[in-house]
Structure 1
Amino acid sequence: MTTTSWVPVTEGSDFPVTNLPYGVFTPEGGSARVGAAIGEYVLDLAAALDDAVFAQPSLNAFLAQGRPRWQQVRARITELLTDEAHRELVEPALHRIDEVRLSLPFEVADYVDFYASEYHASNIGRMFRPDSPPLMPNWKHLPVGYHGRAGTVVGSGEPVVRPCGQRKPPQDAEPTFGPSQRLDIEAEVGFVVGTPSSMGTRVSTDEFAEHVFGVCLVNDWSARDIQGWEYVPLGPFLGKSFATSVSPWIVPLDALEPARVATPPQEPEPLDYLREQQSWALDLALEVRLNDEVVSRPPFDTLYWSPAQQLAHMTVNGASLRTGDLYASGTVSGPEPDQRGSLIELSWNGHDPVKLDDGSQRVFLEDDDTVTIRATAPGIEGTRIGFGEVTGTVHPARES
């Protein structure tokens, strides 16, 4: 595959021709449609390919066409952007990314959030169960997760309103109601399902690439005080369901083939349905910025449970997949203090506040704070590809 496009691509760009992520954009005076990012531009696929499936305000119709079609379209886009002979035809379909509006790239059917980082789960266990083993007994036998709320998955840049709810600090006798005082982030990686499955059937780890179209970045905002009071005995609910931000670009799995690495050793050996013939663990380097200052660099390749294992577990009971399903990894954290993907870990539940360059410090998020998550990965032919960014700014609570 050639790594050179006739479209100018700045060195270090997230979007070389070896990437070609998909998103939804609205040009000035036009309607929302599907495009592919190349350098500082987005290619209008409806115009370039003369295909009405891309003249829609979401990727879902294209996602539903399945892997052979995904590969065919990727090959054609690559040809159009690398062969100078196509320049005259294609150039009018290019729009500068900074001159269009990007939006949530797909209609979310269902949303599942996992808890797949051993480092994150162990950190949380040590904080809140210091006299017990950090991991619960089931954790190394199955990918723990919960079914989230698809309707509050939002696009990058959408405001995040501080949620209100019940909170009960340990020292208080009764719960009170009000804005969350412990608003947090969770740096995660998301997987977007294209090909559905039938109710009552299982999807094996080997079928991961036949069903999952691509990968995005996720910030699963969390209200730790609301969550801490409500989560026993049923788990996350209002402390999680107020906003989950997703990046505007979906990187196709085919672009991430060079980023595949072995899943970390798993002991005890997983049950049969969770075993992998070939791993889909990924070497992704995340970066978390708080008010434009890097506070963490979580490594995704340390994740204990791979995305293929997560998909297999999600369907082993016969639950069906639908086009537009999104599932996320859970907070990505590494073994080092500066690799933790949430403020509750970075500040160790408030005992070690995060110090910023302006002299301020954070335990949890304040109003007007902006959080941005980026990531890069090895690309084809030695290139480096990126995911763009998912960003959100905290707005004050609406108390009535």
Structure 2
Amino acid sequence: MIEVPTVTEDDLFGPDNLPYGVFSADGGPRRIGVRYGNHVLDLGGAAAVLDGPHRRHAALLAAPVLNPLMAAGRPVWTEVRAAVRSWLTDPGTLRLLAGRGLLPRLDDPGRPLTLHLPFEVADYVDFYASEHHAATVGRIFRPEAEPLTPNWKHLPIGYHGRAGTVVVSGTPVIRPHGQHRAPDAAAPGFGPSRRLDIEAEVGFVVGTPSPLGEPVGMAAARDHLFGVCLLNDWSARDLQAWEYRPLGPFLGKSFATSVSAWVTPLDALDGARTAPPPRSHPLLPYLDDTGGEEWGLDLRLEVLLNGQRLSGPPFAAMYWTAAQQLAHLTVNGASLRTGDLFASGTVSGPGPHERGCLLEMTWGGRDPVRLPDGTERVFLEDGDEVTLTAWAPAGAGRRIGLGEVTGRVEPARTPRSS
């Protein structure tokens, strides 16, 4: 019997969404897929059996990774998205695709699907865009001083991370080793991190590249940004505290960064556009978004620890937008490459239940958080599983979902002696 997907208006992965991913079945080749409800449309297979102008993009859709499609540019993204939407909303076409086996279920035990990292990551940059997060961290570590650094309201602060350790949701996170120094110690020690943390973030994926030496202004952001995904920038706070002066995060961040298996197209988030918070300081022209396109996004995140809700950070409260981050990232002439990933930094709101990391939730480890089952945490323990989810308004009372990102902490592994 042919199972034809049934997707209701309140499904978070209905025709308003259509996020892209890469999957394989039964150990077979990797294929580009589009999520529709609890099914995955084999995009290359669909393009091969259906007629239409999209056929000229068949090679892009049959690739084992999203990068060729991402590099093709906005006109192609728009055309492919319109074709996919028409296929999935036409009953006859939907039945044809289901009959060809091109719409497997994500949870079918008879044909297990594996989700892979959807794109090859070129570069990875992480920003520090939440005023609430930055101010709270400043109050924790500098209680007698101004919580924000003097540059914070003038530019999006960021650091260059490690692209090679960006991993897909579900990949285990091994507790890292490194140097850390206790407050009362004269010298550092070495061993597994004792203050392993999460950072609930949103990642932006670059599609169209740019030439070296040519900045990308905010008005061009839509032409370069392919989509959005949830991201967990795992952080070893004890390693970070010892190493970050004077050059910033290094080993405390580079051991793992988890991203969702699904990349939501930027166009799917038009209904979530909102004005960013009011600016308290005048901005230089290349960052001044007054009167321009609204790049704030009303994304409602949720952080779960072992299936229990920790917090609900609001992305609409982020001070710096993706367009400003992209403009700052390239203002010195740095080029963009297809597959570049830049992250928002920890998403936090003004309330105690809107914080996006344990460092904030526990006030630097001073105050344990109590979970609904009565257990407490200061930082992550081995075996803990962290899941980030999010949804966004899609207009007319509808919502879309961002693919979740999950990681389970595994014990540290003994370093080799040689």
Do both share a fold (TM > 0.5)? yes
1:331-362 Cα shifts (integer Å, max 9, x gaps): 00000000000001011112210112332210
Q: What does residue 41 of structure 2 align with?
A: 43
Letter of the structure 1 residue corresponding to residue 78 of structure 2? Q
- Cα deviation, residue 89, structure 1: 2.9
Query: Is the CA contact 1:279–1:308 (under 8 Å) kept in the aligned structure 2?
Result: no
Report sequence identity in percent.
61
6-15 or 88-97, which deviates more: 6-15
Letter of the structure 1 residue corresponding to residue 163 of structure 2? A
Write the distance in 2 (CA, Å) between the matches of 1:100 and 1:123.
41
Q: What does residue 95 of structure 1 align with?
A: 104
Write the distance in 1 (CA, Å) between the matches of 2:373 and 2:37.
33
| Counterpart secondary structure, 1:210 | helix
- Cα deviation, residue 13, structure 1: 2.9
Query: Is the CA contact 1:26–1:33 (under 8 Å) kept in the aligned structure 2?
Result: yes
Query: Is the CA contact 2:263–2:403 (under 8 Å) kept in the aligned structure 1?
Result: no
- Cα deviation, residue 140, structure 1: 0.2
Write the distance in 2 (CA, Å) between the matches of 1:34 and 1:258.
25
1:46-79 Cα shifts (integer Å, max 9, x gaps): 0111223222221001000000000000000011
Q: What does residue 62 of structure 1 align with?
A: 69
Write the distance in 2 (CA, Å) between the matches of 1:110 and 1:184.
23
Q: What does residue 280 of structure 1 align with?
A: 295
Write the distance in 2 (CA, Å) between the matches of 1:305 and 1:326.
16
| Counterpart secondary structure, 1:338 | coil
Aligned mate of 2:89, from 70, 82, 89: 82
Write the distance in 1 (CA, Å) between the matches of 2:370 and 2:276.
34
Query: Is the CA contact 1:247–1:388 (under 8 Å) kept in the aligned structure 2?
Result: yes
Instruction: State yes or no: 1:387 paired with 2:402.
Output: yes
| Counterpart secondary structure, 2:154 | coil
Aligned mate of 1:122, from 135, 156, 162: 135
Instruction: State yes or no: 1:144 paired with 2:157.
Output: yes
1:9-49 Cα shifts (integer Å, max 9, x gaps): 25643201110000001112521110000001000000111
Write the distance in 1 (CA, Å) between the matches of 2:61 and 2:150.
47
Write the distance in 2 (CA, Å) between the matches of 1:357 and 1:267.
38
Letter of the structure 2 residue corresponding to residue 95 of structure 1? P
- Cα deviation, residue 83, structure 1: 1.4
Letter of the structure 2 residue corresponding to residue 334 of structure 1? G
Instruction: State yes or no: 1:28 paired with 2:23.
Output: no
1:70-122 Cα shifts (integer Å, max 9, x gaps): 00000000111111231343222111112311111100000000000000000
Write the distance in 1 (CA, Å) between the matches of 2:307 and 2:73.
38
Letter of the structure 2 residue corresponding to residue 101 of structure 1? T
Instruction: State yes or no: 1:158 paired with 2:156.
Output: no
Q: TM-score, normalised by structure 1?
A: 0.97
| Counterpart secondary structure, 1:86 | helix
Query: Is the CA contact 2:167–2:257 (under 8 Å) kept in the aligned structure 1?
Result: yes
Instruction: State yes or no: 1:329 paired with 2:338.
Output: no
Write out aligned runs for 1:110-259 (5 A): 110-259=123-272
Write out aligned runs for 1:305-344 (5 A): 305-344=320-359
Letter of the structure 2 residue corresponding to residue 255 of structure 1? A
Instruction: State yes or no: 1:72 paired with 2:79.
Output: yes
Gaps of 5+ in 1: 1-5
Instruction: State yes or no: 1:15 paired with 2:30.
Output: no
Q: What does residue 366 of structure 1 align with?
A: 381
Write the distance in 2 (CA, Å) between the matches of 1:86 and 1:199.
44
Write the distance in 1 (CA, Å) between the matches of 2:228 and 2:273.
13
- Cα deviation, residue 367, structure 1: 0.2
Write the distance in 2 (CA, Å) between the matches of 1:319 and 1:347.
38
Write the distance in 1 (CA, Å) between the matches of 2:374 and 2:410.
22
Write the distance in 1 (CA, Å) between the matches of 2:347 and 2:230.
11
| Counterpart secondary structure, 1:286 | strand
1:181-225 Cα shifts (integer Å, max 9, x gaps): 000000000000000000000101111110000000000000000
Query: Is the CA contact 1:48–1:89 (under 8 Å) kept in the aligned structure 2?
Result: no
| Counterpart secondary structure, 2:104 | strand
Write out aligned runs for 1:340-355 (5 A): 340-355=355-370
Query: Is the CA contact 2:128–2:345 (under 8 Å) kept in the aligned structure 1?
Result: yes
1:257-312 Cα shifts (integer Å, max 9, x gaps): 01000011112121100012112110000000000000000000000001100000
Q: What does residue 53 of structure 1 align with?
A: 60
Query: Is the CA contact 1:208–1:311 (under 8 Å) kept in the aligned structure 2?
Result: yes
Change (3 A) 1:380 1:94: farther
89-98 or 295-304, which deviates more: 89-98
Q: What does residue 3 of structure 1 align with?
A: none
Q: What does residue 51 of structure 2 align with?
A: none
Number of residue equivalences: 395
Query: Is the CA contact 1:263–1:280 (under 8 Å) kept in the aligned structure 2?
Result: yes
| Counterpart secondary structure, 1:341 | coil
